[in-house]
Chains A and B, each alone.
Chain A
């Protein structure tokens, strides 16, 4: 038994931390969140060319480096610390995993090298206006038309939907319901009949889109009608990635709170000497450490691709969602009035925590899913 990162993994963390600190200062986050694309293409290119982050867990035969989810988790945690504005989550956690899980060898060979090199920004479009994260939420119909496939319907809350030049879409055959009849397709970002609308997001650091499909010609990905197990696994893997991102953000706001509690003086003493504040920080630490344990363990399970993954993915998503939100809320409280202002970064984390909690299903959703998965 060994629950520690290896030396190489620690080195990766150092490299990514330095990079993200340099490229994702608070000023830069604020600048990018006010732009429509919401990321810096130069940084995206550097992530691919200098650090190889987009190719990290893509197998070598498809142009990647063949690392595991543990390395990926490190990258997400470090990005989460600094709220890096980037289509990395959409491309790597969602689209890449969907292609890896669903695609044939030829399809992977066609799609993944572009992602690995940073040329392709990709996303996964599966949520719809009904806001559900389960199989029944998918109502978009895929129909065969003259030997090809055509998509009609609307996808919502598509992360970086406007930035993606490759969109993986989940749709179903007419007359099917639940987990049956779901298939994956790919379309390009500029496909004819596709209307993309950037959404006004509560959390401005991660962009979302509405995608309206009107007779959009689509390319099948994987076996027709067999998409659910690959999608379910993709959502679990993405939940693992997001959990690690949340753990990183939670640690960062804890550090912010503790720093402030040491220097802010009221009643003639640092507020951190009062138990009311000290105990809040202690509880935050307990939750942050626990969130990390859950996130790291789930990353290992995802890397091993073992039968534990569905349970630990839901466990990790539920716990990290609550812990991150709680930490960001306490961070505002500990900062007092300044923590409520626009110019203080506390609200950026507070909003990111809430949006991350809701994306892929909130804690309540995942506790129920967990109950089902452990046979309650």
Chain B
């Protein structure tokens, strides 16, 4: 048990710091920690920043060298993310491509598929979105009705996806579709890679409670993709889709707590300046949030140690997801409490736009966090059944 860097880790940390201090300047630095999966602020600058990261191979840093990666291990990835968060660098755009699709592609893709897609993810020339949820397939994801049928050397896709974050920005979508007519449940699904820029794909924005519209409905009407753009075996899409979800629930939260720490610090500063920090209840709540964010760090370090030793993260990633999403939701509520009447007003300039302050953003966007990537109730089922071994619900 030792929480200090090894000499090699310390040297790597220095390398990251040097790169960031050299590159995270000017308008990039001015972005602060802005942005997120449901927050498009500063988009163009963030895209440019993302390409700067890609240019120096900090996008795809864990990938094998033959695909342009740096082959970094888990510890190094965490160190990078720690330094990235400490530097208050912009939120990453490439989450769906780099964070979700790429690891799935590396695990299940052919050499041709990897060579085709990974370089474009790294150069940020192609963004990805996730075609999972449907109107009748939310927590019960295996109920997807979108179907794909073979027509010569192409798949023809029909159906509707929903809550598709950044579909309007993405060039590609990984789509879970039913390729075996008449199949139900987990069987007969395939994981298709579908280009977004085609007549058969229609994107309709959905306005969120935050006022902005980062997610969308996506309608496939005889949309087409090449027959070889199936990840994994045809009919084996469920396993591939679950692997992606594992990455989504996986290691991201380990460095996320640094961004959370900063949010908490800002809330504490406001409480100190408006006097709420003198109130016993507020002090209890702020201390409790502090405890939570530290424990997130300790849990993350324990999980990372386990990951390094065993190579897989497994269902215990559900514990991390359940913990951070609930913690963040409570933080958002406490931020409102600390603001008091200041919480009543949103747009500071009075320009008629519904523009959220940073604390409102935490308060509202955190409501999505206990829903996406498997709702908290689903996480509790996973923990109950796959970690504790409790019997499944009869179905």
Tell me the A residues contacting B by CB distance below 8 Å. 1-6, 9, 70, 258, 261-262, 269-270, 272-275, 277-279, 281-283, 285-286, 289-290, 292-294, 296-297, 300, 312, 315, 318-319, 364, 367-368, 370-371, 374, 376
Contact = CB atoms under 8 A, between A and B. Distances in A.
Interface of B: 1-5, 9, 75, 78, 268, 271-272, 277, 280, 283-284, 286-288, 290-291, 294-295, 298-299, 301-302, 304-306, 309, 316, 319, 322-323, 377, 379-381, 383-385, 387-394
Given A261-B390, A285-B388, A289-B299, A2 B290 contact: no
B379 A282 contact: yes
29 contacts: A1-B2, A1-B78, A1-B301, A3-B305, A4-B1, A4-B309, A6-B1, A70-B1, A261-B390, A262-B390, A262-B391, A273-B390, A273-B392, A282-B384, A286-B319, A290-B295, A290-B298, A294-B294, A296-B298, A296-B302, A300-B1, A300-B3, A318-B288, A364-B284, A367-B291, A370-B287, A371-B283, A371-B287, A371-B290
A297 B297 CA distance: 10
B381 A3 contact: no
A273 B388 CA distance: 12
B379 A3 contact: no
A103 to B, nearest CB: 28
A3 B304 contact: yes
B391 A376 contact: no
A300 B305 CA distance: 15
B313 to A, nearest CB: 14
B2 A258 contact: no
Contacts of B284: 364, 367-368, 371
A376 B268 contact: yes
A3 B1 contact: yes
A1 B319 contact: no
Contacts of A270: 390-391
Contacts of B384: 272, 275, 278-279, 281-282
Given A262-B389, A286-B383, A293-B298, A368 B305 contact: no
A283 B392 CA distance: 17
A85 to B, nearest CB: 29
Nearest to B79: A1
Given A272-B384, A278-B381, A289 B319 contact: yes
B11 to A, nearest CB: 14
Given A1-B4, A4-B309, A319-B291, A273 B286 contact: no
Contacts of A294: 291, 294-295, 298
B82 to A, nearest CB: 10
A260 B388 CA distance: 12
Given A1-B3, A290-B295, A296-B1, A368 B287 contact: yes
A42 B2 CA distance: 36
Nearest to B285: A367
Contacts of A297: 3, 298, 301
A1 B75 contact: yes
B1 A279 contact: no
A300 B4 CA distance: 11
A3 B390 contact: no
B383 A376 contact: no
A281 B294 CA distance: 23
Nearest to B4: A1
A368 B278 CA distance: 11
A177 to B, nearest CB: 23
A273 B394 contact: yes
Given A1-B304, A285-B383, A294-B298, A273 B291 contact: no
A278 B286 contact: no
A320 to B, nearest CB: 10
B319 A2 contact: no
Contact of B385 (A278, A296, A312, A370): A278
Q: Which of B75, B280, B290, B393 counts the most chain A CB atoms within 10 A?
A: B290
Contacts of A273: 390-394
A319 B294 CA distance: 11
Given A269-B394, A367-B291, A290 B75 contact: no
A116 B187 CA distance: 64
Most A C-beta atoms less than 10 A away, residue of B294, B377, B394? B294
B15 to A, nearest CB: 17
Contact of A1 (B287, B305, B380, B388): B305
A3 B295 contact: no
Contacts of A2: 1-3, 305
B380 A278 contact: yes
Indicate the member of A270, A274, A370 with the most B CB atoms within 10 Å. A370
Nearest to B309: A4
A272 to B, nearest CB: 4
Contacts of A1: 2-5, 9, 75, 78, 301, 304-305
| Closest A-B pairs by Cβ, 3 of them | A278-B384, A293-B298, A272-B390
A274 B392 CA distance: 8
B9 A278 contact: no
Contacts of A290: 295, 298-299, 323
Contacts of A296: 1, 298, 302
Given A272-B384, A282-B383, A371-B287, A3 B298 contact: yes
A87 B316 CA distance: 37
B301 A281 contact: no
Contacts of B379: 282
A70 B1 CA distance: 8
Contacts of B316: 289
Contacts of A269: 391, 394
Contacts of B280: 368
B391 A318 contact: no
A281 B1 contact: no
Contacts of A293: 295, 298-299, 301-302
Given A4-B305, A5-B1, 20 more contacts: A1-B2, A2-B3, A3-B3, A4-B302, A272-B384, A273-B392, A275-B393, A278-B388, A281-B388, A282-B322, A282-B387, A282-B388, A293-B299, A293-B302, A294-B295, A296-B298, A300-B2, A318-B288, A368-B284, A376-B287
A261 B392 CA distance: 12
Contacts of B283: 367-368, 371, 376
Contacts of A4: 1, 302, 305-306, 309
Contacts of A275: 377, 380-381, 384, 393
Contacts of B277: 376
B247 to A, nearest CB: 21
A183 to B, nearest CB: 31
A188 B394 CA distance: 64
A278 B377 CA distance: 10
B391 A272 contact: yes
Contacts of A261: 390
Contact of A376 (B271, B299, B304): B271
B279 to A, nearest CB: 11
